Amino acid sequence: MAGDRSSGYRTSAYRTSLGRARGLGAAKRGVGAFITERVTAIALVPLVVWGIWSAIVVARGGYEGAIRWITHPLNAVLLAVTLVVGFWHMQVGMRVIVEDYIERPASRTALLLLNLFACVLFAALAVFAVLKVALTTGAV
């Protein structure tokens, strides 16, 4: 196999038939994390560009302008999506870092749980704040 000789030794000798057929590595989900991280990064590009443009627009209007801006449904939805995708991207990236660099299983498990719970909590709080302002009439 040409792909097995590229690194100088036969890597397929260390993999089971099922592992070669499925294409899964030792972690069993590395490709999924890689793809998720890339897809969320691609999704964040236009969302962050929109966010920067929106911040410039909002900065001109002061507090009342910011309230008017966030009560517009499209702005509220895009802001909530940006927050959710951003926290998801952060959670996946931090998970990969913890899995790669923390060797002790107990520490790794604790940090992975902390990462998951913190990202979910902060994403939920951020979306709640956006919805509260966006759906509250007479906030000004």
Stretch 68-89: mean pLDDT, rounded? 96
* Percent of residues, the chain, with pLDDT higher than 90: 69
125 neighbors 61 (Cβ within 8 angstroms): no
In the chain, the number of structural domains is 1
Position 82 in a domain: yes
Judged by DSSP in three states, 124 sits in helix
Question: pLDDT band for position 140 (50/70/90)?
Answer: very low
Considering the domain boundaries, does residue 72 fall inside one? yes
Amino acid at 102: I
The answer to whether position 5 is within a domain reads: no
Provide the CATH number for the domain around residue 35.
1.20.1300.10
pLDDT confidence of residue 20: 63
The mean pLDDT value for 121-137 works out to 94
pLDDT value, residue 129: 96
Q: Please write the tens of the pLDDT for every residue from 28-49.
A: 666 888 899 999 999 999 999 9
At residue 139 the predicted structure's pLDDT band, cuts being 50, 70 and 90, is very low
- With a pLDDT cut of 70, the percent of the chain lying above it is 76
* Within-domain flag for 120: yes
> Mean pLDDT score of the chain, rounded to an integer?
86
Mean predicted confidence (pLDDT) in 88-92:
97
Own/partner contacts of 96-102, CB < 8 Å, gap of 24 or more, are 96/33, 96/37, 99/27
pLDDT at residue 9 tops 60: no
| 91 in a structural domain | yes
Residue 10 lies in a domain: no
